[in-house]
Structure 1
Amino acid sequence: MIPSFPHYTGPYQVGSIDIEIPVSELESPVSTPSDASDIRTVLVRVFYPATSESQDRNVYWLPSPQRQSLSAYARFVGLGPAAASIVSFIPRHTHYTKIPAHKNAATFASPLASDGRWPTAIFSHGLAGCRNSYSYIAGSLASHGVIVFCPEHRDGSAILTMVRNPSARARRFPNWWGTAEMRLYLDIGHEVTAGTFKARDRQLRIRLWELGLVHSLIIAIDRGQKLSNLKTSARSLDQFADKMDVHRPGKMVFMGHSFGAASIVQFIKSVYYANSPALKGLADPLFTPHRDSNLCAQITHENVVILLDMWCLPLFDPSTTALLELPLPAYDNVRGAPGGKAILAVDSEQFVKWSEHFHATARIVSKRPGQRVVSQEDFVNQATGAKMDPARFFWVHGSAHMNQSDFCVLFPWLTKKMFKAGHPEQVLRLNLRAQLQVLRENGVVVAETSAKDRVDDEREDANNRSSSHGSARASVDGEPELGHENNCTRLSYDNTIFDMPDTIKAWGRVDIFGMGAESANFGRKTDGAKPMSNSASDQGTSATTSTNGGQGDLEISQETLAQQISV
């Protein structure tokens, strides 16, 4: 049986396109990192709302070259090179698995905004991922009216990536021979050593540079700039001109999973605090963009940041302590700062049970990360005296680190047996609901939440049903009319996901106040903490959490966690 995805639940069809652009054609906000001089292109997969008549063929989930990609995954799970090569030749259903998005489909102007522009997000993948690994999350957001750019990082963290030579032309079959360099996953390990921190910093410098280039790519596409897309079978990029809400400061959304979430934290902070006196002491900053760049103009205290099962270890490098201790921009002491309302963190139960890491995450998403214990008294905007909310921090009972990627929904039996990753569709439903609602709460207009995504609710909130706040009910040229279903089937404002988590099965809220004492050393600080470890605790956490609907406890071994962080 061929592994398959459930259908997206938003009202829009979804299109997808591969884009690979020479670095030389993009404006970079920083100089090329020394370890990235041979990275000549930027590669992204884009998910976007498509016209209702789109009938183009679907996108294959396993990236090309498929045999080599399958072999790379086989090596990753422990097979030797010879065995992995043999496995890659065996008839395989995975080769025919398709993403439920139409390849190179036509897009259209947003009916939800007066200027026709769609909200736009960048999603950074985790270790051993690629541009397709989170296609269900990205496609689900696209079906609700968000354009999502998923870069494939070339820092050695992708399971496999092909770096094209822009000046080379294909002369043989397959078409990548002689035109691209194959790069396999670089196994650095998870030991807490100076060598590990140095290696992860090298990767972060490349990742942050790439994220800056992706932002430049988005700006260039929206402005209608002519670019050389090396993915020659793709539709013209002209259709995206003037359709993305990317020029107004603070409007882009930044997302990531695991190492990708850590990358987003370092990226957002590095841009927002570029040339800040607080960072003057950094001997070798990860990323310092020009203050007059488009990127610095975009990232403000208003950008929504979504962190899925963030892997914190790379943030603890003693050489970047000054950056670690600065809060996410939403907490800055400036007028209009939204505080934690603009920050969504969703953890797996596996990471919740890794107690010291869980407490470290609470500190990182707090207003004063440098404080040993998160204090409610610190959540005050010093510029206005107004109280600030903490980050929207939740977890899913019975979930594993891998659950927010595509792997669990495609291979549920295998991932449950190997990683104890249960209830894959439920985990993705709950994540999507939270993502849509954090966007709504920050003024990002998206389509309503479907009843199909609310099946985990034990009761429906009558106030929610009748709410018209954030409603989207427009149509153009035969495109879907959002809200054409009655209020019993779609919600325009799903506040239950944040305000009443106890009424939702398997969904728990994390109260970060009082947390942090069990976290590891913060960079150079010793403040009584133990050194950061690379394993999960199989003990329960003392943090205040709540959930509804038991699904069995996870027991976590060091070997399982180390492998899961890399998926």
Structure 2
Amino acid sequence: MSELKRIEESQPSGEATSSSTSSTLNSTLNNSITSGSGQSLTSKGTVVAQRPWFKRLFPHLPDYLGPYPVGVHDIETPPNAAKNTKGVLIRLYYPTTSAATKAHSRAKWLPKGTLYSVGYGNFSKLPTILSLAFIYPLLAGVNTPGYLNAPLRHAGKGDDSPPPLPTRLPCMIFSHGLGGMRTTYSTFCGNIASQGFIVAAIEHRDGSAAVASRNAYKEKIRYRHPNNDHRKPGETVDEYLLRFRRSQVEVKAGEVKEVMQLLMDLEAGTAIENLMATKRTKGFEGQFTGRFDFDNWVMSGHSFGGATCLTALQDPSNPFKCGIALDPWMHAVSDAHHVGKPFISVQSENFQWKTNLDPLADLFSHTESSSKSRFGVLRGTAHQDVSDFPALFPGLMKRIKLSGAGDPIRALQLYHEWHLQFLKEELETEVPFGDYPGFEKESKDRPKEIVEGKEAFDMLYGSIRHDWGR
């Protein structure tokens, strides 16, 4: 079996779910997702977190970490032949007011319950009947801390205590990994928005989402698994997989450009057709006119979305100021020798192999912005710890080895603080993110949890196991 094929089959749920993981999911969905005492355990059985009993009864997401409440709003644009656009679907995360949280309900984590629960199940190779019987009941009641269609917070002093915001807010585009969609990383995106950013999370339609919707949920785009029968004559498995995944990245990078244009239209006050609009939300997008700070534009993504992030940063026509690439899947990056913008790449400890790490090390040694770019590892984490799943199902995710030995809530906090420190260095904005009690306070445990620079590369190379043929 080729190395790339082994990698495809051994990826955690972000890159291809193995049959062993699928069977484990089948056997554990009936079991409790946390220990009876509510304690989250490391692989050695050490208690690392404890949830209140009422939050252990059902899957639950942590509150956002910033000072501003967060609103969310979905936008889907139709294809436009005149503009040569295919249409995109995004979820906007943005700061709102405390008053709005009393007038609006929290957004569901599954925007369309049965569609996305079956999509997640199909991606994990579960029968549809199990998805409907177990995944849907577990996830249908999960709310995010964001408030659906709450208004964008006005500039200046609000009705509550957080610092006043400027008129224009920095913006971020987020690209999900394989098997994700626009709410899979709601904690990551909402945490950034709670600091005063506008975040656009894309639901990609290249076949990399667990399932993607089109035409206001009337159509669905299923996840596309690689198919060796689609190889060209004389093409090896590795060559086919590279062509297949890189063609998807090209589509995703094109969607990033389309989202950029959508946000610029919102900024300019250009009327847009939102297929997700209702009578209550008609004209909702008008409040975003004049509110984007495109001098402080950030690209971000996880795994396959991390590859999309780096690809977008390589395009000189994209006006991104910097980027955040989380566990980027480097096989999907066509040119791993140059990124013209500074970026931070935070790796999980348990998602590493030499053929992925080598191009990343090469990128940091050759890129023009390497002096400003940062590389590091968050100890005790696995590939999915930046997504919402470990926070929702801490016990289950540890059992199937898709979450690391540490506390997933603590991991999300550290990811957030690390990214904010980088953004504070790179952006020139009046948004006072980080300027509140607690942000600058150093944790005594942080040096044990975070490894940076050459030490991080050395640690990862030292931990790599060459056991793909096992």
TM-score, structure 2 normalization: 0.76
Alignment pair present for 1:244 and 2:256: no
1:432 equivalent in structure 2:
416
Rounded to whole Å, the distance in 2 between the matches of 1:150 and 1:390 is 25
Rounded to whole Å, the distance in 2 between the matches of 1:313 and 1:62 is 30
Kept in 1: contact 2:68–2:96 (CA 8 A): yes
2:339 equivalent in structure 1:
328
Q: Larger Rg: 1 or 2?
A: 1
Distance of aligned partners of 1:502 and 1:18 in 2 relative to their CA distance in 1, 3 Å threshold:
same
Alignment-mate amino acid for residue 400 of structure 2: M
Alignment pair present for 1:80 and 2:92: no
Rounded to whole Å, the distance in 1 between the matches of 2:174 and 2:469 is 27
Give 1:96-115 correspondences, 5 Å limit: 96-111=141-156
Query: 1:244-297: per-residue Cα shift (whole Å, max 9, x none)?
Result: 102x3xx2000000000101111221x21xxxxxxxxxxxxxxxxxxxxxxx27
Kept in 2: contact 1:101–1:139 (CA 8 A): yes
Structure 1: unaligned runs, 5 residues or longer:
33-39, 166-175, 273-295, 331-341, 369-378, 382-387, 450-470, 472-482, 484-488, 516-539, 544-552, 561-567
Query: 1:504-545: per-residue Cα shift (whole Å, max 9, x none)?
Result: 342111317997xxxxxxxxxxxxxxxxxxxxxxxx7446xx
Kept in 1: contact 2:377–2:456 (CA 8 A): no
2:450 equivalent in structure 1:
507
For residue 21 of structure 1, report the CA deviation from its aligned partner: 1.2
1:215 equivalent in structure 2:
260
Kept in 1: contact 2:165–2:432 (CA 8 A): no
1:464 equivalent in structure 2:
none
1:4 equivalent in structure 2:
60
Alignment-mate amino acid for residue 349 of structure 2: E
Kept in 2: contact 1:15–1:48 (CA 8 A): yes
Distance of aligned partners of 1:448 and 1:118 in 2 relative to their CA distance in 1, 3 Å threshold:
closer
**SS in structure 1 at match of 2:224:** coil
RMSD: 3.1
Query: 1:201-257: per-residue Cα shift (whole Å, max 9, x none)?
Result: 2212211111110000000001111111111234610011111102x3xx2000000
1:18 equivalent in structure 2:
74
Alignment pair present for 1:408 and 2:370: no
Point out which structure has higher relative CO (alpha carbons under 8 A, 6+ apart).
Answer: 2
Query: 1:301-330: per-residue Cα shift (whole Å, max 9, x none)?
Result: xx1111111111112xxxx4xx333x2113
Kept in 1: contact 2:107–2:143 (CA 8 A): yes
Rounded to whole Å, the distance in 1 between the matches of 2:237 and 2:418 is 33
Kept in 1: contact 2:72–2:107 (CA 8 A): yes
Alignment pair present for 1:311 and 2:321: no
TM-score, structure 1 normalization: 0.63
Give 1:48-59 correspondences, 5 Å limit: 48-54=94-100, 55=102, 56-59=104-107
Distance of aligned partners of 1:116 and 1:363 in 2 relative to their CA distance in 1, 3 Å threshold:
same
Distance of aligned partners of 1:343 and 1:155 in 2 relative to their CA distance in 1, 3 Å threshold:
same
1:68 equivalent in structure 2:
115
Kept in 1: contact 2:312–2:318 (CA 8 A): no
Give 1:215-364 correspondences, 5 Å limit: 215-233=260-278, 234=281, 236-246=284-294, 248=295, 251-269=296-314, 271-272=315-316, 296=317, 298-299=319-320, 303-315=321-333, 320=334, 323-325=335-337, 327-330=338-341, 342-352=342-352, 354-364=353-363
Alignment-mate amino acid for residue 270 of structure 2: Q
Distance of aligned partners of 1:53 and 1:367 in 2 relative to their CA distance in 1, 3 Å threshold:
same
My pick for the range that moved more, 67-76 or 258-267, is 67-76
For residue 26 of structure 1, report the CA deviation from its aligned partner: 8.9
Alignment: residue pair count: 393
Rounded to whole Å, the distance in 1 between the matches of 2:107 and 2:464 is 34
Kept in 2: contact 1:110–1:118 (CA 8 A): no
The percent identity for this pair of structures is: 28
**SS in structure 1 at match of 2:125:** coil
Rounded to whole Å, the distance in 1 between the matches of 2:170 and 2:154 is 11
Pick from 224, 229, 244: which aligns with 1:186? Answer: 224
1:160 equivalent in structure 2:
211
